[in-house]
Amino acid sequence: MGIIWFHIRKAFTLFRSEVLVLPSRVAVLVFVVALLVLPVFTQDPYLLRVLIFTSVFAIFAASWDLLSGFTGQMNFGHALFFGVAAYTSGLINVHFKVPYFLSIPVGAFAGVLTGLIVGIPCLRLRGTYLALTTLAFPIILMGLVFSFPDVTGGELGVMGLETLARSRIHVYYASVISMLVLTSIMWKITDSNTGILFHAIREDELAVRAGGINTTRYKLLAFCLSGFFAGIAGGLYAHIMRTVGPSTLEVSLSFQVIIWSIFGGIASIYGPVAGVFILFPLAEVLRAFPKYRMLIFAILVLLTLIFMPQGLIPWIRDKIEKECPRCKVRSIATRKTCRICAASLD
Amino acid sequence: MKRSSVFGVVLLFLTLVLCSGFHAWAADPIKIAIVGPMQFTQGEGHWNGATMAAEEINKAGGISVKGTKRTIELIKVDSNEFLSIPDATNAMELAISKHKADFVMGGFRTEAVLVMQDIAMDNKKIFLGCGAAHPELCERVTKDYDRYKYWFRITPINSKHLVAVDFILLDMVAKAITKELDIPKLKVAIVAEKAAWADPMVKIAEGKLPQMGMEVVGVWRPSPTATDTTAELSAIQRAGAHIIFTTFSSSVGIPLAKQAGELKIPAAVAGINVESQKDGFWKATGGKGDYGLTVNTYARVKITDKTIPFFDKYLERYKEAPNYNAGTYDGLYLLKTAVEKAETLEADKLVPVLEKTEVTETAGKLVFTKDHDVTWGPGFVTAIGTQWQDGKNLCVWPNGWQGVKYEGTVEYKVPPVMVEHYKKKK
pLDDT confidence tier of residue A146, bands split at 50, 70 and 90: confident
* Percent over 70 (pLDDT), chain B: 93
Whether residue B89 and residue A49 make contact (CB cut-off 8 A), yes or no, is yes
Give the pLDDT confidence score for residue B16 in this predicted structure: 52
CB-CB contact of B296 with B326 (8 Å): no
CB atoms inside a 10 Å sphere around CB A52: 23
- Residues of B within 8 A of A243 (CB-CB) are 111, 114-115, 118
> Across-strand partners of B247?
B192, B272
So what's the pLDDT on residue B21?
Answer: 47
Selected residue of B39, B44, B97, B201 to mutate for chain A interface (largest A Cβ count, 10 A): B97
| Contact between A252 and B83 using a beta-carbon 8 Å cutoff | yes
Please report, rounded to a whole number, the percentage of residues in chain A having pLDDT higher than 90: 70
| 123-152 in chain A: CB under 8 A from chain B | 146, 149
Q: Is it the case that residue A154 has pLDDT exceeding 90?
A: no
Closest CA relative to residue A266, chosen from A55, A119, A70? A70
Label residue B4 by pLDDT band (50, 70, 90): low
pLDDT score at B9: 61
Task: Name which of B85, B98, B110 is nearest A156 (Cβ-Cβ).
Answer: B110
pLDDT of residue A294: 85
* Mean pLDDT to the nearest integer, B230-238: 96
Say what the pLDDT of residue A2 is. Answer: 87
Taking an 8 Å cut-off on Cβ atoms, the answer to whether B39 and A49 are in contact is: no
Does the bond joining A23 to the residue before it have cis omega, within 30 degrees of 0?
no
Tell me the shortest Cα–Cα distance from A169 to chain B, in angstroms: 15
Distance (Å) from the C-alpha of residue A31 to the closest C-alpha of chain B? 23
Does A166 reach chain B within 8 Å, measured CB to CB? Answer: no
**Model confidence over B302-318: pLDDT tens digits?**
999 999 999 999 999 99
Mean pLDDT of A173-202: 95
Distances (CA, A) of B289 to B254, B255, B391: 8, 9, 9
**What was the pLDDT predicted at B389?**
96
Which residues of chain A have a CB within 8 Å of the CB of B39?
290-291, 294
Q: Which of A53, A287, A293 sits opposite B86 (nearest CB)?
A: A53
Q: What is the pLDDT of residues A76-94, one digit of tens each?
A: 999 999 999 999 999 999 9
Q: Give the distance, in angstroms, between the CA of residue A3 and the centroid of all CA atoms in the same chain.
A: 37
Task: Collect all residues of chain B within an 8 Å Cβ-Cβ radius of residue A290.
Answer: 38-39, 76, 78
CB of A159 within 8 Å of a chain B CB? The answer is yes
Closest partner residue to A154 (CB to CB) among B84, B85, B196 is: B196
Query: Whole-angstrom Cα distance, residue B75 to residue B98?
Result: 11
pLDDT score of B424:
81
SS3 (DSSP) at B187: strand
> If you average pLDDT over every residue of chain B, what do you get?
91
Q: Confirm if B193 and B223 have CB atoms less than 8 A apart.
A: yes
Beta pairing partners, B106: B35, B129
Give the distance from residue A316's alpha carbon to the nearest chain B alpha carbon, in angstroms. Answer: 29
Q: Which residues of A touch B38 (CB under 8 A)?
A: 290
Rounded mean pLDDT, B348-366: 96
SS3 state of residue B37: coil
Question: Residue B338: is its pLDDT beyond 70?
Answer: yes
**pLDDT tens, position by position, A225-246:** 999 999 999 999 999 999 999 9
With a threshold of 0.90, tell me whether the complex ipTM lies above it. no
- B25 pLDDT higher than 60: no
Closest CA to A138 of A233, A255, A260, A266: A255
Has residue B20 got a pLDDT over 60? Answer: no
- Does position B235 have pLDDT exceeding 50, yes or no? yes
Smallest CA–CA separation between B325 and chain A, in Å?
20
Beta strands in B193-278 (DSSP E): 215-220, 243-248, 268-273
Residue of A247, A252, A284 lying closest to B90 (CB–CB): A284
For the segment B106-123, the average pLDDT, to the nearest whole number, is 92
Nearest to B196 among A146, A284, A291 (CB): A146
Q: To the nearest whole percent, how much of chain A has pLDDT over 70? A: 100
In chain B, positions 96-135, which contact chain A (CB-CB < 8 Å)?
97-98, 110-111, 114-115, 118, 134
pLDDT of residue A25: 93
Read off the pLDDT of residues A297-334 as tens digits, 9 standing for 90 and up. 889 889 988 999 999 999 999 999 999 999 988 899 99
pLDDT (tens digit, 9 = 90+) per residue, A65-74? Answer: 999 999 988 8
Where b means 16+ CB within 10 Å and e means fewer, A161-172 reads bbebbeebeebb
Q: Which residues of A touch B35 (CB under 8 A)?
A: none
What confidence category does residue B423 fall into, taking pLDDT thresholds of 50, 70 and 90? confident
pLDDT at B14: 54
Contact across the interface for A159 and B136, Cβ inside 8 Å: yes
Which chain A residue has its CA at the smallest distance from B84's CA? A247
Mean pLDDT of chain A: 92
Identify the pLDDT of residue A137.
92
Alpha-helical (H) ranges within A74-192 are 79-96, 100-122, 127-147, 149-152, 168-191
* Mean pLDDT score, A256-276: 94
In chain A, beta strands by DSSP E: 158-159, 243-244, 321-323, 330-332
Predicted pLDDT of residue B26: 62
CB-based contact B196 A290, cutoff 8 Å = no
* pLDDT above 60: residue B99: yes
